[in-house]
Amino acid sequence: MIYDLSHKDWVEVAKNIKMLLLKANFPVCITGAGISVASGLPVNEMNFQGKTVHQLFLKDFWRREPERYFDFYYQIFFEWKKALPNNAHLYLHKKNFKIITQNIDGLHFEAGSKNVIEIHGNLRELRCETCAIILKSDFLKHHGFNCPNCKQILRPGFVFVGEKVKGVSLATHWICQSDLLLIIGTEMDALPIRYFPKIATTKQVPVIWINQNSETIIPYLCK
C-alpha cells in the first residue's frame, strides 16, 4: 500500500497512518535533498555563488581545474557545515529509523542517527585515490588539495556523476527486512534506489511518500 503525503491535504491521510509508525519494528527511510531544505541547504539545481551545486559532482571539473574546483568545494563545505538538522532528521533518529540517504550533508549523523548509509558519500571528508587516506574537509583550509602522503590530488568523499554508489547491498538488505518504508524529498529516479519501493510493495510493506514539508509532517506522524 502506498500513502502519498505530497499534497496540501496531507493531514487527512496522515492521521489514518500514525499507527503504522507506532507498530513498525524495522522502519527504513530513504531521504533526498528535500529533507534538508528546511535546514537551509540548496537542492542540486539551485544556484550557489554563480554555479549550480550540481557542478560539484562533475568529475571533469575536478580533474581539469582542481584549483577552481576546490575553491568552489570549500565555499559549499563552509556554508553547509553551518546547517543544523531539522525536525524531520531529529524525529527519524528518535524513532530509530534506518536511513538510506542520497544527501552528502551529514545531517542524519548530526541528528544522532547511527544506522545511516550515505549512498553518495559525504562532504565532510576528502580521500586519496592512490593511498586511500581519508581526511576531514577542513584540511583544505591550510594544506591545499594535495595528499600529504603521496602528493596526488585529493578527491571529494562523495561520488561523482556516473560513479558507483556506496552501500547498495546493505541498503537492499534493510529494504528487504523493513516493515515500513518512508520516502522523503527525493524523486527516486536514480538507480538503484528507484527499485526499492517496488521491493517493499511486493512484500506488502507500506510505503509513505513525502515530498515537501517533512519537517512538519514527520513530527506529526511520530507524535
**Which residues make up the interface to Zn ion (CB under 5 A)?**
128, 130-131, 147, 149-150, 152
Report the alpha-carbon distance of residue 223 to residue 219 in Å, rounded.
Answer: 6
DSSP string, 37-94: GGGTPPPTTSEETTEEGGGGG-HHHHHH-HHHHHHHHHHHHHHHTT----HHHHHHHH
Nearer to Zn ion, 96 or 146 (CB): 146
Asked whether residue 128 is marked as a ligand-binding residue, the answer is yes
**How long, in residues, is the chain?**
223
Nearer to Zn ion, 2 or 150 (CB): 150
Nearer to Zn ion, 152 or 172 (CB): 152
Asked whether residue 176 is marked as a ligand-binding residue, the answer is no
8 Å CB contact between 207 and 24: no
Asked whether residue 29 is marked as a ligand-binding residue, the answer is no
Whole-number minimum distance, CB 130 to Zn ion, in Å?
A: 5
> Which residues participate in catalysis according to the annotation?
120
Nearer to Zn ion, 71 or 129 (CB): 129
**For residue 99, which amino acid is it?**
I
Classified as helix, coil or strand, 198 is helix
Classified as helix, coil or strand, 218 is helix
Whole-number minimum distance, CB 133 to Zn ion, in Å?
A: 5
8 Å CB contact between 183 and 29: yes
Whole-number minimum distance, CB 149 to Zn ion, in Å?
A: 4
Report the alpha-carbon distance of residue 101 to residue 87 in Å, rounded.
Answer: 16
Annotated binding site for Zn(2+): 128, 131, 147, 150
Annotated binding site: 128, 131, 147, 150
